[in-house]
Amino acid sequence: MLVPGVGVQGGRPEALGGLGGAAPDQLLPAVSREVLRAGPRVAELRAAAERMRDVVAYLAAV
């Protein structure tokens, strides 16, 4: 389930767990704005994507 944005859109990663009644490992948080604002260089975009991956990794561990 695609859930509201995390990061620049104001969503907090720890608030995602109870959204929509879905199991946490079925959630896909929107993070594109947070990642894209780190650019335009590829290395910066990659680093931002990796940071966001780590921030929401707890969803898969539940």
Return the pLDDT at 10.
74
DSSP 2-61: EE--BSTTSB-GGGGGGGGG--GGG-EE--HHHHHTT-SSHHHHHHHHHHHHHHTTHHHH
- For the whole model, what pTM was predicted? 0.71
Return the pLDDT at 62.
58
For residue range 1-60, list pLDDT tens digits in order. 777 777 777 777 777 766 667 777 788 888 889 899 999 999 999 999 999 899 888 777
Return the pLDDT at 20.
64
Break the chain into its structural domains and give their ranges. 2-60
